[in-house]
Chain A
Amino acid sequence: MSVNADFVGRVFTGTPPYEVSRVKIAEFSSAVQSLHPSHLDVEAARALGHPDVIAPTTFAVVIAQRAEAEYITDPAATIDFSRVVHADERFTLQRPIHAGDVLSTAVHVDSIVERRGISMVSTRTEITDEAGSSVATVRSTLAVRGE
C-alpha cells in the first residue's frame, strides 16, 4: 500500500513537551563525539553567554523524531517503517537548545510525492519553548519504498 497522501497538511501536536536535561545533552554529545565544553560544563556555557549547557546542533532530532512518531505510526498514514530510508534532514535554529528548556512540538506533513514507486514524505517539526517562542525548525524527508 502506498503512503496515504490525504495526510498532507495535517499537523500533529499530541506529543507531550520534552524536558531537556544536562544528562541527556551530555549523553548525546558523547554519542556524536562532540567534546565541546559548552555541552558539558555549565560555567563554560555561561562564559559564552548561554543560560546553561547547550545542546549539539543536531540534538533537536531527538525531540523531532519522538514527535514525528505520532504521524509515522498512525496506521491510517500507511507508512511501512521497514521500507523507510532517511533521505534528508535540516535544522534551522532560532537559538541554541539548552538544559532546562521545556519544548513543545508541532509536526506538519508538508508533502508526499510519489516518484517511480518511492514515496518522499516531507515533514516539518516546529519546536517552541514555554513562552511560545520558536526555538527550532526540523525538516526531514523519508523515502518509503513501495511493495
Chain B
Amino acid sequence: MSEEIAVVKVADVPVGTELFSATVELERSSLVKYAGASGDFNPIHWNERFAREVGLPNVIVHGMLTMGVAASVLEEWIQDPGRVLDYGVRFTRPIPVPDPGSVEVTVVGKLGAVDAEAGTARIDLNVSSDGATVLGKAQAVIKT
C-alpha cells in the first residue's frame, strides 16, 4: 500500500464521494505466494511457457489475488475487516506480469449507497491496472 488511507464516516459524505485510494504492486513472486496460500496452482499463474501455449500474452495474476488485494485496501480503510458483509466482482480483464518487472494495481473506493435503516453502506471499487479496469461490478457491502 503506497498511499495513506484516510478514514471518512460514510454518513457524513454524499454518495459518489471517493473514500480511499491505494496502489498495490505485484510481481511473479506475489503470484507464487498466492498460489501457495490459496491452493490454486493453475500453471497460467506461474509458468510462462504454459501461459503462452494456451494463448495468453504472459503469466497472469490470479483473479482472486486481484480481488483479494482490493479487499485488503477496503479492510484497511474500514479498520475492522469483520464489518465486510458482502463482496463480489466480475473478472473482466487479465493482468499479465512481466519478468523481470512488476505490475501496479490501483484500487479506488467510492461510496455507492447508504442504507441507514439496515446500518449498511455499499462501497463501489474501481480496480485498474495499466489504465484499464480489471474487475467489473466490484462492490462490497459493509456494516456502518
Residues of A within 8 A of B (CB): 24, 27-36, 38-39, 48-50, 54, 56-58, 61-62, 65-66, 81-82, 85-93, 95-96, 139
Contacts and interface: CB of A to CB of B under 8 A. Distances in A.
Contacts of B33: 30-31
Interface residues of B toward A: which range? Answer: 35 or more
A56 B39 contact: no
A33 B68 CA distance: 8
Contact of A32 (B34, B63, B82): B34
A94 B87 CA distance: 12
Contacts of B116: none
Main secondary structure of the interface of A (DSSP, over half): mixed
Contacts of A49: 82
A85 to B, nearest CB: 8
Interface stretch (B10-18, B71-79, B95-103): B71-79
25 contacts: A27-B37, A30-B33, A31-B30, A31-B33, A32-B72, A35-B1, A38-B81, A49-B82, A50-B82, A54-B81, A56-B68, A56-B72, A57-B68, A57-B87, A61-B38, A62-B37, A65-B38, A65-B39, A86-B64, A87-B91, A88-B89, A88-B91, A89-B63, A89-B64, A91-B87
A90 B63 CA distance: 12
B89 A32 contact: no
Interface in B85-131: 85-91
A2 to B, nearest CB: 19
A139 B88 contact: yes
Contacts of B82: 38, 48-50, 54, 95-96
A82 B42 CA distance: 9
B86 A56 contact: no
B65 to A, nearest CB: 7
Contact of B65 (A31, A48, A81): A31
Given A56-B72, A82-B54, A91-B88, A38 B38 contact: no
Nearest to A62: B38
A62 to B, nearest CB: 6
B87 A61 contact: no
B86 A90 contact: yes
B69 interface: yes
A50 B83 CA distance: 11
